[in-house]
Chains A and B, each alone.
Chain A
């Protein structure tokens, strides 16, 4: 236990040893005063965990539909994420999303079909894996007064896996009471489909950001866009059941990943030097995607989702802080919506 405490202490305070006066000032920077890029020689590591509970779905007209009312559907998602930023100058840093591992689970509760035989059917759809690897340069305009920051972040994301469905793992079972009977009175079928996260194609990225600071209040806005640089190919699977054995066959199709646009607005109130209260709004749009086979392609529905966010940041030590968000969906179109709890730790190291 003592060794553990000692290790933590070294990790937290070691970077402070031998630092300059300027470093000391930077370490004591309040959250709202922090520049939108990291300092020269600073390595900032973000890592955390996010949990989504999907309660509703917005249809094409923007009407909210309760997921549990749709065949007893339930969905949730776990995500582990980590990214790193390194300051090349005080106005330019490089950022890479090393990890964004997500597992989304959608389950429809068993449906009984009562005819000659009771068919108990459950459907489990999982989307699992790492999101695309995003590499970007964050730049801020030099020479601006403290009250304002303007930034631009071009980037590119690389696929980490082939997009699309993996070979399914459906299951077929006879209940114990039906074993050995030619005409069972019940069978269980578990449809289990697995998809990979990620676009499967390289995409370009651009983000613009503006921040204004008052005495204890700051307002910021960012707009980002993500575009595919080429079309991709993926497969889906069809199945057949013969005497309790499933066989599968893949069908290839072409797709163009949807363009993605995000607007993020945030207001901060620096309640104490160590506590920042956050309130935000974000609006995301996916559009211009399509899928097709045999030369005929169809547009994918445009999707939209808007969230209100509430959060805080606590500076635990000058080199480590905790940020936590709660996100609530407020409107959408053609997409599921979730209540999100996002917890992130940030650790800063100086290499000068």
Chain B
């Protein structure tokens, strides 16, 4: 019996390795090979040479500048907020964390469009808030790109800092105070050092996310002549004249930069990680704002206004206008654009339907594949386990645009006898590859939380392996599987870069539809689609969470 189990496990391992190699590893390797090989000669400096010869150094510089600026902006925005909601009486307002999910869950390209509508000539600012018009030139520049991206990413670093602050128990601070440390001394000697590891991890992640982000640079950056890695990769691999040498050179440099940063991040995490000891969580040390409380609220209010109010107000009003550019009057307001999106046969309707069904397929495949891989990773040991683990999470580290370039290189290869390239299936495959890590991580996490004795108890009770899987393992990892499905679905349904790069000419998705309408100035219809997409993700989230809760209790 044991022998049979061993054979089955080896079989599963082989299947997993084969799938991961074809889906993820070969595409990434093809990007690297293509960029390192010029005229059939391999040279480690080829990508750099291509970039310098192609006068793309500016792109490299722009990306790094943007990354650093966004890290600084998000820190400046998030640090006071994290302090307010963890160390002062504002901590009671838990709804703030829920509200901050909104900018985080808003696709960057949609938020950016909202801001453009707000700031552009004859936009909201010029019409209703003329005193803010002085910021117009500043917004339509590098600073605007950095600003909008920061507004999208600050909730991330906020949560990192806040969770770290919460972990620092009051007794650590009290001990500092008892031994004579003033407030600022305790900050400098106790709080900040303990925050360092978590913060630097968060900051590096923000940096990587900024480098890899396509939406904002593609909408606002290109408009103001600010080009970065992702926009140029798109340009060279999708737009005429296609130049894969330059495209893959940029993709390789982006990939290697991101990998290096991940590596540095791991080093920092291991070196400066303190486990803040004491199994009992003592209370936090709280500070009262006293009469300055209104300042705290004002800050939070302003932040929510800027990161949620402005983009959504612009998007929603634009989506309701009968004629773009006319005044907002009752006569000019209509739901026609929404109705059009839900009418079969229209371009909008078919785009929306394509996105929904491709995302459902992708989420379902990703759920099963991710569960298979996640379970296998937890159950295996040694080199093969690390191999499966790191390659199934590779799409987390590798920027999505690089993966997509790799998928194009592989699936569009002339030597393939048959291919799904240029079909809708290719889009679903791209979603699966890009978002597989979510399910793998959720399933792994929920499996690892299961104490081994729960399986031993079942064994002692006389249960065979299959019975244990069915009655113990699957019920307990089901929440992870469901979370993986939701996450894959809601990210796929609005995914811009993969859709734009890999879609066949005749297939439009909601994201590419929004992008094109916005580009061509058909604003109201595009914005109606934008708001619908966000709405769908919210509805799915609510439905599944409600169902999950019922299952959990029942």
Say whether A and B bind each other.
Answer: no
Interface residues in chain A, defined as those with a beta carbon under 8 Å from any beta carbon in chain B: none
